[in-house]
Amino acid sequence: MEKRDLTLRTKDFAIKVFKLIELLPKTKASEVISYQNLRSASSVAANFSACTRAKSRADFTNKIKIVLEETDEIAMRINSSRQNDENLNLKIKK
């Protein structure tokens, strides 16, 4: 896979997370989760983009680890939200 392909995919991932956030119910809990997911999704795209300009192998490794951590956190929050809200599952399927 090309570096450019992954850069576009991480940006697309961030946009999909932004759209998913709009489906969450407007509660205090979902506001907190939404804010965290917005920050994490932005971080995924930004840090992957930074990986493509890493100054060293260690710099690249550090940035990729951040991308993976943020992605894991988003997945955990989305899965938790889906378990708590059956309607969210239906909205996601549409």
What distances in angstroms separate CA 76 from CA 52, 54, 69, one per listed residue? 26, 28, 11
Number of structural domains (the chain) is: 1
What are the residues whose beta carbons fall under 8 Å from the beta carbon of 21, sequence distance 6 or more? 34, 37, 38
- Give pLDDT, residue 1: 61
56: containing domain: 3-93
- In sign, the C-alpha dihedral spanning 51, 43, 58, 75 is negative
- Find the range with the poorest average confidence among 5-9, 16-20, 67-71, 77-81: 77-81
Residue 78 has pLDDT above 90, yes or no: no
- pLDDT by residue (tens digit) across 12-70? 999 999 998 888 888 888 899 999 999 999 999 999 999 999 999 999 999 999 999 99
CATH of the domain at 58: 1.20.1440.60
